[in-house]
Amino acid sequence: MRQVVSHAQTHKGLVRKCNEDACLDMADSGVWLVADGMGGHAAGDIASQLVVDTVKVAVQRTGDISLQLLTESLQQANDELCHYSARNLQGRTAGSTVVMLMIDKLHYHFLWAGDSRGYLLRNNVLRQVTRDHSQVNEMVDEGLIDSSEAEQHELANVITRAVGVDPNLTVDVISGVWQPGDLFLLCSDGLNKELSDEEICHYLTHNNIAEANRALLHSTLVAGARDNVTCILIKVDVNSDNVNEKDKTIPIYIKN
């Protein structure tokens, strides 16, 4: 029988006046979510919280959690945000990226729209599972720029998909079979703007995921935290009584 331990946190960072990120930790239901209200758009904090609240209500209403339920809840949030913008924002857009993780008896499922990310650490190897819906990734796919240029490109912050920006929301899904010891990370781009994936990987060496997550946030703040920062760590099949601090190994980061 699977056991799951998780830790979630969000911070406004050191530059922004308010926190437009929101997160959801429903470990008992096997659902976690990070939403990032779109910077520069009106009511980003309202947008991200609406996404979280809509998914939370949908999960709480049913004992049968499925990919269809979660996808439909995101579409509902999309519809509500489009209506909110039309009613209250005079044509401006309230939008939010989203990345969600569902873990059932056998499988893990990532659902996302935008550039909030989902990672998997397995056998001490870290891999970004999701793929940013961004202008630079499209340019990489078209061969216009090299992947090594993407992070520092002037269009790196331009996303091509999010909840609330278009009447028809397309949610990408990637699924796989989880293994005992798998560690998942969900984060807004405020984390990966300040820390490289190699640096993120380093902080996941701590066997206590709460301590590992706090170290991630602390390092982001030390680096300047120009944006809001949200991160959730989820570890599967953990027995904390059997954790030996001397048994740590060093994770390795690999690119897709």
On the question of pLDDT at 92 being above 80, the answer is: yes
Query: Which of these ranges, 85-94, 158-167, 192-201, has the smallest mean pLDDT?
Result: 85-94
On the question of pLDDT at 198 being above 80, the answer is: yes
CB count in 10 Å sphere of residue 171: 18
CA distance 103 to 89: 37
pLDDT tens sequence across 165-184: 999 999 999 999 999 999 99
Candidate ranges 20-34, 139-153, 202-216; pick with highest mean pLDDT:
20-34
Domains of the chain, CATH where assigned: 4-253 (3.60.40.10)
Q: What is the pLDDT of residue 206?
A: 83
On the question of pLDDT at 44 being above 60, the answer is: yes
Q: What is the mean pLDDT of residues 141-165?
A: 74
Q: Above pLDDT 90, what percent of the chain?
A: 71
41 or 69, greater pLDDT: 69
What mean pLDDT value characterizes the chain?
Answer: 88
pLDDT tens sequence across 211-255: 999 999 999 999 999 999 999 999 997 554 433 333 333 344 444
Q: How many angstroms separate the first and last alpha carbons of the chain?
A: 31
Q: What is the pLDDT of residue 41?
A: 65
Helix axes 67-88 and 44-61, enclosed angle (nearest 10): 140
Select from 171, 104, 106 the least CA-distant residue to 133: 171
Q: What is the pLDDT of residue 155?
A: 65
